[in-house]
Structure 1
């Protein structure tokens, strides 16, 4: 059976990659191994929208 856990990590986006928040997720059916998103103000953006 596939591992269905995940870790959410939010960093400051700078070269140092300072982690601002992290959380273990007990179950997910998210189809990708990794994704990058951007947050500007109160808007979540995909890299192609940034």
Structure 2
């Protein structure tokens, strides 16, 4: 029973980490798009 609980918590942690990484990747993509748009103005990218 204990091992099962540990496995479940580990799975939840892995899933949450994957979601966080996806969100970060999406944000980075959006940021890079914005950077390309206003790159000359702000000198970013």
- TM-score, normalization by structure 2: 0.18
Q: Which has the larger radius of gyration?
A: 2
- TM-score, normalization by structure 1: 0.18
Larger strand fraction of residues: 1
